[in-house]
Structure 1
Amino acid sequence: MKTTQLISLSKSEHRELINKLEDLASKENRSLSDTIMHLLGIGYSEYINRSIEDSIPYSVVSLFAGAGGLDTGLKMAGFNVIWANEIDKDACETYVANHPETYVERGDVRNVKSFPKADLVVGGYPCQGFSLAGNRLMTDERNYLYREFVRCLRQANPKFFIAENVKGLLTMAGGQIIEAMIQDFRNEGYIVNHHLVNAKDYGVPQDRERVLIIGVREDIDFKYEIPNPTHGDGLFGLKPYVTLKDAIGHLKPSEVGEIYDSTFSSRYLSRNRKRAWDEVSFTIQASGRHAPLHPSGEPMIKLGTDEWILPETSEHRRLSAVECALIQTFPADYIWKGSLGSIHKQIGNAVPCLLAKAVAKPMFDFLKQYYVQVERQERVG
């Protein structure tokens, strides 16, 4: 009979070290072995005593950072993301692979003791409880993680904040939920407004409506206005919408990557899932199984209410993860970690990079002038 051989730790300091490693692994949502292997390359003391330089110009603290779509857009706008938090293991690995200069605090945000000072705090706190497609339970604890966002504002004291969420937040409890959130933000000393935007209006090849809650600290002499759309139907001087052909039409078969391959469920076939090459994509969801159809082949046929079919005269496939990432305007060389299902989840949960860039650009432009004045005053003083 075989028995498990336990490691004997005779010295109390060794047992104490294992306890610390177990606590660290739990906090960062990692296995103990992953934590140990990582620390072997860095050193325990160096890792737990990492430091960052906060209170620097154009600095950003990012909560619920995911794979880094929002933060990539902020970097495009000129910001410097100094600190980020994420609980999902694969999303953390993706984030670190693409943003090695950012200090990443892994694990549950509720375990974060302190947040660094920054010019801007951003985050798309979990939206499942608010989604129009979800059960919208008032008791869903994910609905209250925004309070961690409030706690971060209190500690980081940013000049601005950007909170992103799904359209369903506007109508939950008759609008009482978003009003309660806004009041909490105002109580922290911010002038707050919310905006419903569609990503396609800012160069993203996708119909994607999202709510943006924007805050400006009361002592900052700046009135934020959501940027005017840059893209449209070609009228009023707007650029044409970026289409599926523009976004993914250049890909060779060898560049498409892995495709989520499974049957199409009755739920999937309850509505149209295919847009043409000259249109923008449907919303990229956080699921490979529910990825929109590639525009090739014939369009779907509507048989009745909530019933569509795929013509058998042509082939049909879902968009690949590579294609979904491009539609979300991630850079073509962005590195993805995890299984195919996990990658689709990371991509679908992200804020489109170009939308983030557009929304944050007015703040960056203000800060450029702000820091010129600060430098001038320091020189005079």
Structure 2
Amino acid sequence: MPRPEIVDLFAGPGGLDVAARELGYEVTGIEFDQDACDTRTAAKLATLQGDVRDFGPHKFPNATVLAGGPPCQTFTVAGSGAGRRALDEVIEFVQRMADGEDVRSKLAVLEDDRTGLVLEPLRWALEAFRDGRPYEAIILEQVPAVLPVWREYAKVLSANGYWVAEPRVLHTEQFGVPQTRRRAILVARLNAMAELPAPTHRMYRKGVPRDQGDRALNAWVPMSNVLDRPMRFEVISNYGTGGDPKTRGRRSSDEPAFTVTGKVSRNRVVGEDGKELPRFSDAEAGILQTFPADYPWSGRAIAQQIGNAIPPLLGKAVLQAAIGPADEYAR
């Protein structure tokens, strides 16, 4: 069987692509944002800059794996919420697309046009199927609020002959990421059983020591294991607090980080004596996302690039479960 080639929609600064490269796969990412493209260029990742809606499978005739993480801003708790409010409409559009309807001209009814981007991977998958060149594997990720959409995708893909692992939310710290973050994952295979990765690490629970839990799994990874800081510290989160200082969460350096978002620099970092320490740099935020320490972040809005990316370590686990390492295939 020939080695799979991957086309990655909404590829961002390269979270999944870094993982794919480590596994030996060829991958081309489509990305609209100039800053993310600058980072990808510096990282030597194959990139087509443009709007995913302007392309389709015919542009990538050799790609056998479709991957993607559509923009999440309208679905996140911290975002506008337009996507969450439109879930019923989005699911109805999925069903109409399954019936062969081109819904692109009708997406204007959605409150935020970014919400409709979550339908693009399905358009690509269905176009490829109807062209007689279906993708061998499909791998999608998004914030947990999109799980109902992925489940609707699963019904459509199953009806078109795919094996689909039951879409579910994975916790990043269970795959060695030094950060608590949840992602809704869909994996489908055309000619083989589809699987999601099995956890390799324990789930983080506040107040539960690292050495407690399932002995068959590794302990979750704390910030202190990956950040080069000389002293213990505490992170005071500014996320989801509604501006009330009393509700701000705290994590010590011996715990995983809070979810890294584009606003990571708003989190205070203090020493054991309560004195202010430097807040996380872009490089440190990237490390907490499991990008290489020397990853060549470029352009502007670097924190936003990092916050939008899938952690490469999670991406690697998903790719290995979905299609395995590249050396299992013939060149």
Bin of the TM-score, shorter chain as denominator length: 0.7 to 0.9
Stretch of structure 1 that moved more, 85-94 or 268-277? 268-277
Q: Which structure: larger Rg?
A: 1
CA gap of 1:141–1:212, structure 2 versus 1, over 3 A, is: same
* Relative contact order higher in (CA < 8 Å, ≥ 6 apart): 2
Q: Give the number of aligned pairs.
A: 279
Once the two structures are superposed, residues 321-378 of structure 1 have per-residue CA deviations (whole angstroms, 9 ceiling, x without a partner) of 1111000000111101123xx0000000000011111111133438755x45xx9xxx
Distance 2:159 2:44 in 1: 33
Once the two structures are superposed, residues 170-216 of structure 1 have per-residue CA deviations (whole angstroms, 9 ceiling, x without a partner) of 3xxxx4x4443333434554222312101101110000011001111
User: 1:281 aligned to 257, 277, 283, which one?
Assistant: 257
Identity %: 32
Shift of 1:277: 1.4
* Contact persistence 1:67–1:95 (CA under 8 A): yes
User: 2:226 aligned to 247, 253, 271, which one?
Assistant: 247
* Contact persistence 1:132–1:167 (CA under 8 A): no
* Contact persistence 1:61–1:120 (CA under 8 A): yes
| SS in structure 2 of the partner of residue 122 of structure 1 | strand
User: 1:145 aligned to 117, 120, 126, which one?
Assistant: 117
Shift of 1:317: 4.6
Shift of 1:272: 2.6
| SS in structure 1 of the partner of residue 59 of structure 2 | coil
User: 1:169 aligned to 136, 140, 146, which one?
Assistant: 146
User: 2:321 aligned to 354, 358, 362, which one?
Assistant: 362
Distance 2:260 2:17 in 1: 18
CA gap of 1:268–1:61, structure 2 versus 1, over 3 A, is: farther
| SS in structure 1 of the partner of residue 177 of structure 2 | coil
Cα RMSD after superposing both structures: 2.7
Shift of 1:163: 0.6
Structure 1 counterpart of 2:289: 328
**Aligned residue runs from structure 1 range 295-306, under 5 A:** 296-297=271-272
* Contact persistence 1:77–1:364 (CA under 8 A): no
User: 2:306 aligned to 341, 347, 353, which one?
Assistant: 347
Write the letter of the residue equivalent to 1:80. Answer: E
Distance 1:274 1:318 in 2: 14
Distance 1:125 1:210 in 2: 12
**Aligned residue runs from structure 1 range 1-381, under 5 A:** 57-81=3-27, 83-100=28-45, 102=46, 104-112=47-55, 114-116=58-60, 117-134=62-79, 135=81, 136-138=84-86, 139=110, 140-153=112-125, 154-155=127-128, 157-170=134-147, 175=148, 177-192=149-164, 193-217=166-190, 220=191, 222-232=192-202, 233-234=210-211, 235-248=214-227, 250-251=228-229, 267=243, 269=245, 271-290=247-266, 292-294=267-269, 296-297=271-272, 313-339=274-300, 342-365=301-324, 368-369=327-328, 371=329
Distance 1:129 1:270 in 2: 27
Distance 2:64 2:136 in 1: 5
Write the letter of the residue equivalent to 1:163. Answer: L
| SS in structure 2 of the partner of residue 161 of structure 1 | strand
* Contact persistence 1:85–1:106 (CA under 8 A): yes
Structure 2 counterpart of 1:11: none
Write the letter of the residue equivalent to 1:274. Answer: R
When normalised by structure 1's length, the TM-score is 0.66
CA gap of 1:268–1:165, structure 2 versus 1, over 3 A, is: farther
Distance 1:71 1:159 in 2: 18
